[in-house]
């Protein structure tokens, strides 16, 4: 005879199915979530305060208008292509690769226009490049 009472088994919580369900939910959320991409940012260009602009020999000022037109040293460039701008920069540099290119772009000019100036300067063999800004009171800084 068996006088020992059988003890009921203690209930046991099995966490493995719970973890499996949580992983499936996590994977679903990762795949279903679309990350927002900013297509346009409102950027306010900064102003700089530094010493006043000074004339330096061996510099070429490239102006970029708001509509994407270029001018090199005050002369308008025919067309808006990088090749035309590179030819004008090559002619203005007179074979001096140490010539400084100063990009004076309108605040509302397209970013691509400024990149085109940088690309044209590279094609013309001009490695020294800087950007013109203005002080809060409107004086130009180069």
21 assigned to some structural domain: no
What number is the average pLDDT over the span 37-60?
Answer: 58
pLDDT, tens digit (0-9, with 9 covering 90-100), for 76-98: 888 888 898 999 888 888 888 88
pLDDT, tens digit (0-9, with 9 covering 90-100), for 88-138: 888 888 888 888 999 888 888 888 988 999 999 999 999 889 888 776 665
130 assigned to some structural domain: yes
Cα(141)–Cα(119) distance, integer angstroms: 23
State phi, psi for 6 to the nearest 5 degrees. Answer: -80, 130
6 assigned to some structural domain: no
Residue 142 or residue 49, greater confidence: 49
Going by C-alpha positions, the residue among 75, 95, 94 that lies closest to residue 85 is 75
| Contact (CB, 8 A) for 109 and 64 | yes
Q: What is the CATH number of the domain that holds 92?
A: 3.30.420.270
DSSP, res 91: H
Count of structural domains within the chain: 1
Domain containing 134 equals 59-141
pTM over 0.85: no
94 assigned to some structural domain: yes
């Amino acid at each position: 005879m068996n006088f020992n009472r059988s003890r009921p088994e203690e209930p046991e919580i099995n966490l493995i199915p719970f973890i499996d369900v949580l992983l499936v939910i996590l994977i679903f959320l990762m795949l279903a979530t679309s990350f927002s991409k900013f297509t346009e940012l409102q950027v306010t260009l900064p102003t700089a305060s530094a010493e006043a602009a000074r004339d330096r020999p061996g510099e070429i000022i490239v102006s970029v208008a708001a509509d994407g037109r270029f001018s090199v040293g005050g002369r308008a460039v025919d067309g808006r292509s990088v090749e035309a701008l590179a030819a004008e920069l090559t002619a203005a540099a007179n074979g001096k690769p140490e010539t400084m290119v100063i990009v004076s772009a309108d605040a509302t000019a397209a970013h691509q226009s400024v990149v085109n100036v940088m690309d044209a300067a590279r094609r013309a063999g001009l490695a020294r490049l800087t950007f013109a800004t203005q002080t809060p009171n409107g004086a130009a800084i180069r």
